[in-house]
Every structure is written in structure tokens, then in C-alpha cells.
């Protein structure tokens, strides 16, 4: 491993640790810890802010890891789990829970929706035991549009629940408690399993035929990456709603910094994604009126991504 890569990894790790401390210390606008007693300070820090910060860390890391895997699988830096319908499936599951069950089991329904949509896309794309990447991508777009139409219908008939659905669809961590953090820890399990496929991701980036000649079972690899990515995204969506651009931009940026080796790219993208979402959520909750963190990530993420695209086009 090159010296520069070590420096980047260590710097990201230190910045991640510092970000956990700083974002936990920074609170809602207008509320100072100096106005509270020791018991109040401990309650604010450990019962309110810390679980929210840790959830942002886990969700950001998970979305970045899933995005890295999808971009490696599709060999396309525009790909992420959302493009194959995972996000739309999770959103539809959450909306059904809000409208018909008063929000009961929302994380479970979101997770089931996200995972089921990925499985459907995979089955549609499978022909004679093989899954072409192009077919998988196009099937994902088609299923995503279909699920979006169902979501629009559910929103149309939702009545008074429309505001709640809209707020959840924009993504946020305001309702996160320690129970949600425990659920989000499953993201680390998925990311750890994903790391075992880092070498295979490097090989498949050379092309499917070359990967077959080098002993990689390409079809099993595709299925494993899809399931792991949808599992991670499903957990993230069930905890924090639909937060865009983290899984799309972070791998793209870190690939420029540390290169395409997924053994390095995966952990560096996870740390960078965690840092980005923690600070984005801190910005969202310190506004005079708190806004969904998905608005912040989209506001900064979309122009930055356009800048990256134009920069790469010129080179």
C-alpha cells in the first residue's frame, strides 16, 4: 500500500473521530448546554445527540459502501442502489405503513420493500442462469418508475398522512433513538461481508470474461453484491428515510483520491460517507427551523456532482 493511501486512511479515521465529538457537542440552535445542569447535559448528550450522531455515522457509511459496490458491479460511476429500485421499494413500504397502519412497523416495511424490489429486479433480469449488467440496470429503472407510480397513488389517497410521508421521503434522523442505532449496527455486518468481495470487485472491473478466466463466479458475485447492497440500503432507509447523493458522490470522490482498488476504496468511502452525513445532519438540525437532512445532501450534492462530471469531461 502506498504511503499516500495510508495517510488518507489515517486522516479520514482521525477526522471521523473528531467529527463524532464535535457533532455531538453541537446542538440545536438557541439551546446552550451552559443553561443546563449536569443531569440535563448528560441526558441531552447521551439520550438525544449521541444516538443521532451514531445513526448518521452508520447510515452514511452504509450508503457509501453500497454505492461503491454498485458502481464497481455496474462499472458505472452513476450507479448506486437507488437506481435499481431499492429506494423506491423502501419508500413504498414506509408509505404503506404510514397510511394503513399509522406508522406501525415502518422500519420493517421499509426494509421489506427495499429488499423485495431488488429481488424482483434480479429475477426479471435473469435469463438462462445469467444476468446481463445492462439488463439489470434497465430493469431497475423500470421497476423503480413502477414503484414510484404506486407510491404516488398511495400519497394521493393518504389524506392527512401526506405531510408525514413527504417528511419521511426527504430523509431525516430526528426520530432516532438507541433502538434505531442497534438496528443500524446491522449495516456494519453487511459492510464487513461486502469487504470480503473487494478483490472480486477489482477483478470484475477488468470485464466479465477476464473475471471468469481468473476463477471468479461472476453470476454468484452479482447476486451476492446485489443482496448485500440492498440489505445495507434497506437498513439505512428504514432508519433514516430516503437520503440521496451519499451513495452516489462519496465513492466517486474517494475513487479520485485513493484510486480504484476496492480494498482501499471501500473503507475510505465508508469513513467519508459517515463524515459527510454527520455534518449534513448537524447543519440540518442547527437551522432556525430544522429541515430534513435529505434536503441538505441534495442541495450540496447535486451541484458538486455536476462539477465533478464537467471536470472529468474536460480531462
Minimal CA–CA distance to 69: which of 205, 272, 257, 220?
205
254 and 268 Cβ atoms separated by less than 8 Å: yes
| pLDDT range class, residue 298, cuts 50, 70, 90 | confident
Q: Is the pLDDT of residue 179 over 80?
A: yes
Per DSSP (E only), the strands in the chain are 126-127, 130-131
The pLDDT of residue 172 is 80
The pLDDT of residue 65 is 93
The pLDDT of residue 315 is 54
79 phi and psi angles, rounded to 5 deg: -90, 145
| pLDDT range class, residue 28, cuts 50, 70, 90 | low
| Percentage of the chain lying above the pLDDT 90 cut | 19
The string of pLDDT tens digits covering residues 254-282 is 988 888 889 999 999 999 999 999 999 99
The pLDDT of residue 84 is 73
Q: For residues 139 and 217, what is the distance between their CA atoms, to the nearest angstrom? A: 22
CATH of 1-287, one of 3.40.830.10, 3.30.479.30, 3.30.450.90, 1.10.3470.10: 1.10.3470.10
The pLDDT of residue 287 is 81
The pLDDT of residue 231 is 83
| Percentage of the chain lying above the pLDDT 70 cut | 91
Report helix, strand or coil for 126: strand
Q: What is the mean pLDDT of the chain?
A: 83
The pLDDT of residue 30 is 55
Report helix, strand or coil for 127: strand
CB neighbour list of residue 262: distance below 8 Å, 6 or more residues apart:
68, 72, 198, 199, 201, 202
Amino acid at each position: 500500500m502506498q504511503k499516500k493511501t495510508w495517510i488518507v486512511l489515517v486522516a479520514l479515521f482521525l477526522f471521523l473521530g473528531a467529527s463524532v465529538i464535535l457533532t455531538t457537542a453541537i446542538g440545536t440552535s438557541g439551546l446552550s448546554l451552559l443553561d443546563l445542569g449536569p443531569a440535563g447535559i448528560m441526558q441531552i448528550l447521551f439520550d438525544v445527540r449521541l444516538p443521532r450522531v451514531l445513526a448518521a455515522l452508520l447510515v452514511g457509511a452504509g450508503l457509501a459502501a453500497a454505492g461503491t459496490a454498485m458502481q464497481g458491479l455496474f462499472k458505472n460511476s452513476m450507479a448506486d442502489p437507488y437506481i435499481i429500485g431499492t429506494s423506491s421499494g423502501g419508500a413504498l413500504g414506509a408509505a404503506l405503513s404510514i397510511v394503513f397502519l399509522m406508522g406501525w412497523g415502518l422500519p420493517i416495511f421499509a426494509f421489506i420493500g427495499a429488499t423485495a424490489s431488488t429481488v424482483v429486479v434480479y429475477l426479471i433480469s435473469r435469463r438462462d442462469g445469467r444476468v446481463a449488467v445492462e439488463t439489470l440496470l434497465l430493469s431497475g429503472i423500470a421497476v423503480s418508475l413502477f414503484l414510484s407510480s404506486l407510491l404516488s397513488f398511495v400519497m394521493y389517497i393518504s389524506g392527512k398522512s401526506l405531510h408525514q410521508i413527504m417528511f419521511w421521503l426527504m430523509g431525516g434522523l430526528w426520530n432516532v433513538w438507541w433502538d434505531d442505532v442497534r438496528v443500524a449496527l446491522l449495516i456494519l455486518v453487511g459492510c464487513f461481508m461486502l469487504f470480503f468481495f473487494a478483490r472480486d470487485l477489482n477483478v470484475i472491473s477488468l470485464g466479465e470474461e477476464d473475471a471468469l478466466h481468473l476463477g471468479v463466479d461472476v453470476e454468484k458475485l452479482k447476486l451476492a453484491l446485489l443482496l448485500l447492497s440492498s440489505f445495507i440500503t434497506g437498513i439505512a432507509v428504514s432508519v433514516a428515510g430516503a437520503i440521496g447523493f451519499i451513495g452516489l458522490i462519496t465513492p466517486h470522490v474517494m475513487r479520485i483520491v485513493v484510486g480504484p482498488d476496492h480494498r482501499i476504496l471501500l473503507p475510505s468511502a465508508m469513513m467519508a460517507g459517515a463524515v459527510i452525513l454527520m455534518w449534513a445532519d448537524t447543519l440540518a438540525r442547527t437551522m432556525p427551523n430544522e429541515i430534513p437532512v435529505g434536503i441538505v445532501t441534495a442541495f450540496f450534492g447535486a451541484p458538486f456532482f455536476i462539477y465533478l462530471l464537467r471536470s472529468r469531461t474536460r480531462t
